[in-house]
Chain A
C-alpha cells in the first residue's frame, strides 16, 4: 500500500488523481476517483447536482481534507505545484458588495508571488490591467465590483486566474448566469489558453454545449462514470449512467452528439 502511494506520476501529466475519497460528516461525497488528464486539453466535468464536481476541484486544490488518496499536479503534490495552478471559484462564493475595484480583485491573482507584507507592486497592477484587457473589461478596471453585471464579474474572476499565469486551471462553473455573448467570449478565451499548451478543467452544467466546447470530458456522479475524449465518452449510455433516467435531458444531449458528428 505504502509503495503504491509513493509512486510518482509522470511529470508531463498535468493532473493525476489516484484513489481519491472525500467525505463530509462521515458520508462520502466522492469516492475511488482515479483520473488522469493529459496536457493541453479543455476538459469539462459534468454530472448532476450533488455529484461532487465542486468537491473534486476543491480536493485537488487542498481546500478540503481528503479521506484518502492522492492528487498530483505535474508529478508533484499541490503544495509544491501551487505556482502552476490557477483557480476560478464559483461566482456566488464571494460577497460582490465588497469595497474593492475590478482591478483590485484581479491583482489578488498576483498575491501568491508577492509574499508576506509586500504591497501590490506597479508590475502586478500592470499585469492585472493586461488581464482585464484580455477579457474586455479594461474600461471597467476602477469600477466597484458590485457595479459590474454578472457576466462582467465572471470575467473579472477569469482575469484574476489569467494573471496567475498557470499551466493548469480549475474553473468552477464559469458559465453560470452569463449571457450568450459572454459565454462565447469565455469559450474563445479558454481555447486561446488551450492553444498555448495549458490545461483547463471546467465544471459545466449545460450538456448541450459539451461536445462543442470541450475535447475531453469527465462524467461524474460521486464516482467517475467515464473519462476520456468527448467524442468517445459523451454518449447516451454514459449519460444515462451519470444522470439516471431523465429522458428529455438525455435525448437532448444525444441529439447534440449526433449533430456534432
Chain B
C-alpha cells in the first residue's frame, strides 16, 4: 500500500516517472471536457462513441502497413493517423447510411460502431499471427494504458490537445450558435457544414489523442461525463464549459495519479470512475439543477403554499361569512380548518407549528384550537386580499392573465401596477359590503364543516 508521502509525490508532479503522464492526462481532460460540452449540446454523444470505436481498425492497419514497409509499427504518429482516418471513415459511413437509406441515425451508428470495432478486433488478431511484429501494446488502445507511453509521445499529445483547446476557445461564439440554432446560423451566412465538420474534427483529434491514455471504449465517458456533470451547476454556456474542462482535468489528474499506484488497474478505467464520481456528486448537489436542489425547492414551495392556505383559512373562518366591521380574534378549532382543506392531521399540525414559530398564531390550546396573533391577522388579511385580487384579475382578464399571474408575489402592485390594482379594488367594491378589511371572494367556496 502506498503511503501518504508517495501519494503526495505523484499528485503534485514531483515524481519524474509519472509527471509527464499526469500532465498529459490533465491537458487531455481539459480538452475532452470542452469538446464534450459542445458534443453534448449538439446532441452528438453517440456520434462520439461511434467515432472512438471506429478508430480500432485504423490502428491495426496502420501498424501492419508500417511494418510491411519496414518501418516501426509502434510509432505513435502513424498509429494515430490510422486511427483518425478510420474514425472519419466511420462518420462518413454513418452519414452515407443515413442520407441514402431510410435507416435512422441511431441504427446507422450502432451498425457502423460494431462493424468497425469487429473489424478492428479481427485486424489485431491477424497481427498476432504476423511473424514480424508482436501486437503487444496495441491492446492498450482498447482499454488505455498510460504506462505504454514514451517521452516522444507526449509532445504529440500535448500539441494536439493544446491546439484543440485554442481552436474551441476561438470558435466559442460560432459553436454556440451552431449548437443552439443551426438554421439561424446558416441564414446569417455562417458556413454551417464547415463548422459542423470542424467540430467533429476537433472531437476526432481529442478522441485520437486520448486513445492511449483512456482507451477507445471509455473515451466517450471522458468526453460526455464532465460536460453532463457541469450542466448541473450552471445555466451559462461559458461557465459550463469552464467547469466541464476543470472536471475533465481533475479526473485526468486523479485518475492518472491513482493508476501510478495500482499498475494493474488501467488508467482509463480510473479516470472514468473519477469523472463518474464527479457526475454523481454534481447530480445530487448541483446548485442549478441538482436533484437535491429541486427537491428542496419543491419542499419549500409546499411549505409556502401550506402557510398561505392556513392563514387564509383562518381569516375566512374569522370572517364567518359576514364582512361587517373589524374582525375579532378568537380561537378556531382544528376541526373547522380541516373542513376547508384536505390536510392530514400531521400536515396541519406541522403548518401550525411553523406559523407558531413565526409568531403568526398563539400556541395551540389543549382542546385543539388556535388563535391568530395580531401580526398573524395582518399577514392573513394581506394574503387573503392578494389572493382575491388575483382571482378577480384572472376572471376579468382571462385572455392575458395566465402569463402575468404571480401568486407568490408579495405585493400585487409590483406585478400589475398601482393603477390596475386600484381598478380591481373598485371592481371588488361591487362584490363586497362596506367596512370589511378585505374584499370578499368573488366566488366563495362553501366550507364542509
Contact surface of A with B, Cβ cutoff 8 Å? 58, 61-63, 79, 82, 85, 87, 89, 93-95, 98-101, 104-105, 108, 111-112, 114, 116-120, 144, 146, 149, 151-152, 160, 179-182
Contact = CB atoms under 8 A, between A and B. Distances in A.
A111 B171 CA distance: 12
Given A101-B236, A144-B235, A181-B399, A93 B189 contact: no
Contact of A99 (B183, B190, B231, B403): B231
B399 A108 contact: no
A180 B400 CA distance: 6
Given A87-B184, A181-B403, A111 B237 contact: no
Nearest to B186: A63
B41 A98 contact: yes
Contacts of A118: 173
B180 A95 contact: yes
A177 B177 CA distance: 24
B237 A104 contact: yes
A116 B231 contact: no
B409 interface: no
B187 interface: yes
Interface in B31-65: 41, 43
A98 B236 CA distance: 9
A111 B180 contact: no
Contacts, number: 85
Q: Could you say which of B184, B186, B236, B237 has the most chain A C-beta atoms within 10 Å of its C-beta?
A: B184
Contact of A94 (B180, B235, B236, B240): B180
Contacts of A144: 235-236
A165 B235 CA distance: 28
Interface residues of B, number: 30
Given A63-B186, A144-B235, A98 B177 contact: no
Contacts of A120: 173
B181 A108 contact: yes
A14 B267 CA distance: 62
Contacts of A62: 186-187
Closest 10 CB pairs of A and B: A181-B400, A144-B235, A180-B399, A112-B188, A87-B187, A99-B237, A61-B187, A94-B181, A82-B189, A117-B170
16 contacts: A63-B186, A82-B187, A93-B183, A99-B41, A100-B236, A101-B235, A108-B181, A111-B173, A111-B177, A118-B173, A119-B173, A144-B236, A146-B235, A179-B400, A179-B403, A181-B404
B189 A79 contact: yes
A149 B402 CA distance: 10
Contacts of A149: 403
Contacts of A99: 41, 231, 234-237, 240
B88 interface: no
Given A112-B188, A181-B403, A117 B183 contact: no
A138 to B, nearest CB: 15
Contacts of A82: 187-189
A111 B190 CA distance: 9
B78 interface: no
B403 A89 contact: no
Contact of B183 (A58, A104, A105, A111): A58
B33 to A, nearest CB: 15
B179 interface: yes
Q: Could you say which of B180, B237, B404 has the most chain A C-beta atoms within 10 Å of its C-beta?
A: B180
Contacts of B41: 95, 98-99
A112 B43 CA distance: 24
Contacts of B190: 111
Nearest to B397: A181
B139 interface: no
A180 B170 CA distance: 43
Nearest to A149: B403
B229 to A, nearest CB: 13
B236 to A, nearest CB: 6
A212 to B, nearest CB: 16
A132 B111 CA distance: 47
A182 B403 CA distance: 9
Interface string B50-93: 00000000000000000000000000000000000000000000
Contact of A85 (B170, B187, B400): B187
A89 B188 CA distance: 12
B382 interface: no
Nearest to A86: B187
B105 interface: no
A180 B402 CA distance: 10
A108 B181 CA distance: 9
Nearest to B183: A89
Interface in B168-201: 170-171, 173-174, 176-177, 179-181, 183-190
Contacts of B176: 100, 104
Given A93-B183, A94-B180, A111-B190, A100 B237 contact: yes
A210 to B, nearest CB: 19
Interface in B295-330: none
A160 B170 CA distance: 23
Contacts of B43: 95
B402 A179 contact: yes
A62 B400 CA distance: 37
Contacts of A89: 181, 183-184, 187
A12 B257 CA distance: 69
